[in-house]
Chain A
Amino acid sequence: MRVTLQSLSSSIQSTLTELTARQAAQQMRLATGQRILHLSDAPTDMADIASFRSTISRMQRYSDTLDGALAEQETTSTALDAIGTTLADVRTLGTDALQIANQDKWSVFAQNVLSKIRDVIASANATHGDIFVFAGTKNTASALTTTPPEKDSTPYELVTTAPTPTNPSGLQVRFKGNTEPRYVQTGDASTEQVSTTADKVFGSGGTAVFDTLIALYNTLAFNADGTPRGDGQHPTPEQLDAVAALVKQIADATTVVNQAAADVGIRTERMTRQHDQLAEDITRQRDFLSQLSDTDVAEATMQLQRDQIAYEYSLKVGAKLLSISLFDFLQ
């Protein structure tokens, strides 16, 4: 086969171009850390990379959601602990009030109970960020509508209405939220209730506990005829029975609150486990993704080295081949 100057030079040129392109690609891989510089470099891997990225993003979403949900559980748990403690205090007050030595001090006990009612209300209005944790889905101030005598934009409010024979103080706790549960997506096919509804904590309608507490206050603060109890005034046997029954109801309510707190704890534990599992899965998926999309620095460096050597030798060989002909030896 005849070899001409043109065929020699075009062959050398094409080799040098190819080697330069390969070196540029390796340098780009090392500089960016990306193994795949163009979609066409690895079509199958690209599909897998897209899938991994999508999965990781989704898992990260669920993980972030769980982060937020866990923070809310903590707020809820703290509030429930406070409510449980306050109810236990009220039960102790009720029990103490039944003691013979204390039966002439019910008006003082009544004031203490009223103070505790206010404490329970404060805990019932606990917020996480800008939302009320026990208000269901009507959980922002702007969503809570007030009707007189209500004044503030909190889900629970102690108001005073007209006294009645059964409620001589006229005190009433109004609930302006609802008992709809709130859920968050924690997986492709799993949701988790993130809220603790008011009825699960405070009984029917979200106010039953308060009715009991106000009934206790009324019994302690008022005589059987509805007049305010003065110092030294003793309760009637019926009132003693009523307080005993109310103390029992408050004890039951405390159990319900503790049960709700336990539910939150179980939920928190479940969410934490799920969160940890997601963190592990994300790490694993990122590892797979890295194997596909990241540059193997050692391999890329070695390849670059090989390409550089090949390039240098191609230059040397090319220079030698192109520089001599028979003319160089003719006298």
Chain B
Amino acid sequence: MIPSLEIGKRALLASQRGLDVTSNNIANVNTAGYSRQALMLRPGETVSLGGTMIGMGVLTAGIRQFRDSLIERDWRTYTAAQNRYQQDATILAQIEQALGEPGDQTLQTAMQRFFDAASQLAANPSRLSDRQLFVARASDLAAQFNRSSLAIEDIRSSTFVRTTQDVERVNQLLSTIASLNRRIAGSGNASGQTAPSLTDEQTQALQELSKYLDVTAARDDSGSLTVSSNGMVLVSLDTALSLRVQKNLDSATGETTLAFSVEKPDGTTVGSLVPRSGELASLAEHYNITLNPLTTSSGFSIARELDRLARTFADRVNAIAAGGYGLNDTGPTPPARAIFVPSSGSTITASTISINSLLVTDPAAVPTSATPNTPGNSDIITAIAALATDGTFLDSMTPEGYYGSIASRLAQMGASTNDRLSAAKTILEQVNSERESLSGVNLDEEATNLITYQRSFEAAARIVTATSDMLATVINLGR
């Protein structure tokens, strides 16, 4: 009867462990990254009692975590993709705002008003009020270019700040994963099992890391996680490398770009990393191309396009104005007076374009006439007004057409990003659902388990009671 007592004890213990695991599952029902656990049982050893082979009850074989590495890989992949497209969408929305699109205070409107004023002045070239209006509109246009350019430069600066903050967080996460590797390696029990909560914590860190970078992870037999990105190993065993944001200046062109170098804990650089997905990939791409006025990339750069438009606009207008006379110009040769000048340096860009201050103080100086002392002659200002419909202005487009193509390109990029973001979100939801289906806690299931273990505990206790009663009967036989 002694074996029965042992069997009952084992059953009681197994039921208690089962209750513990179930309670832990219920307690972590809202814990992010938690993978549900289940108690693994195995039958006890078989012993021969009086020639009969008897099983010795139940033993706990360990705790199983429900986790699928393929699902988790997909989860990381689409988390990185979603965050990349989300960041793309955010930056593109900021660019839209910088350009005032879609709305009535855009560069297109400013150009229209400039040409309206030029046209009005062409009809009345000697009228001072129309000259003042033209100067005001030209000034507004320059200011609109300046505002848009400044706003885009601000976005670029904040992109850099965001990148450094992200890299700081990435380094913390890499360090956490390496530290957890060390703890996991030290937490193994005799049967080689590691602490499930540490693995969950590490998975959670890895999951957050994939928001910033495209990462791949492989767990070895000891439970250590090796993390790499685009072929560069970032965490191995208990060693974490760190990322550093580098701002590279091309001294020949003045172009600044950002790159990520990978460093050992002692500060030596082991290589560079080019993220292919995640927030950092988006931030780097927009900093280096979309928002970079000096990029040589064939990709779309809003800053470069605005500079090009501003420069061409000023050059074309100034070239015509150079042959014109103001109201009070009587000399035989035109004064070659520019309408747009750079506010600093010698090159006109969207940030430096400004109105010639002479015209602001003396609107009569606006060159409108092709011949001296003929205030009614409007050949020059008419030619300037005609630029509005010049189909060869820039890339075989009118000025407004060219700006429209920039806005259209932005719109296409935005729509494409939104589509990708939507697709990534949908897939991520599916993957998340699959992951939850496997690893998530179902309260109904846990409630059932709770009853099951409760009942088995009661039954096991009954075994002990029954055996005890039988033993008492045996002990009292001789009395």
Contacts and interface: CB of A to CB of B under 8 A. Distances in A.
A194 interface: yes
A130 B386 CA distance: 25
Contact of A64 (B116, B386, B403): B116
A142 B445 CA distance: 97
A286 to B, nearest CB: 14
Contacts of B373: 138, 143, 145
Contact of A68 (B123, B376, B447): B123
A6 interface: yes
B442 interface: yes
Contacts of B442: 2-5
What interface size band does chain A fall in?
35 or more
B440 to A, nearest CB: 3
Given A5-B441, A37-B102, A130-B127, A50 B400 contact: yes
A1 B437 CA distance: 6
A299 interface: no
| B interface, over-half SS | helix
A129 interface: yes
Interface in A164-212: 178, 180, 182-185, 188, 194-195
Given A50-B404, A326-B447, A143 B123 contact: no
A112 interface: no
Interface string B91-127: 0110010000110000010001001100110111011
B303 interface: no
B313 to A, nearest CB: 15
Contacts of B408: 43, 46-47, 50
Given A7-B436, A46-B411, A57-B116, A38 B445 contact: no
B329 to A, nearest CB: 11
Interface in A1-45: 1-7, 10-11, 14, 34, 36-43
A135 interface: yes
Nearest to A145: B373
A135 B376 contact: yes
A267 interface: no
A42 B414 CA distance: 10
A188 to B, nearest CB: 5
Contacts of B101: 39
A290 to B, nearest CB: 14
Contacts of B92: 40
Contacts of B417: 40
Given A51-B404, A139-B375, A3 B369 contact: no
A138 B375 CA distance: 6
A136 B447 CA distance: 99
A262 B254 CA distance: 65
Nearest to B419: A40
Contacts of B127: 129-131
Contacts of B123: 65, 68-69, 184, 194
B172 interface: no
B126 A326 contact: no
B460 interface: no
B401 interface: yes
A327 B127 CA distance: 86
A39 B388 CA distance: 23
A184 B411 CA distance: 37
A6 B29 contact: yes
A7 B439 CA distance: 11
Interface in A258-283: none
A178 B372 CA distance: 13
A64 B120 contact: yes
Contacts of B451: 330
10 contacts: A4-B442, A57-B400, A61-B116, A65-B122, A68-B123, A136-B374, A136-B376, A143-B375, A183-B382, A184-B382
Interface of B: 29-30, 92-93, 96, 101-102, 108, 112, 115-116, 119-120, 122-124, 126-127, 327-328, 369, 371, 373-378, 382, 385-386, 388-389, 398, 400-401, 403-405, 407-408, 410-415, 417-418, 429, 432-433, 436-438, 440-445, 447-448, 451
Given A38-B93, A49-B102, 7 more contacts: A39-B410, A50-B400, A51-B401, A61-B116, A139-B376, A142-B375, A195-B376
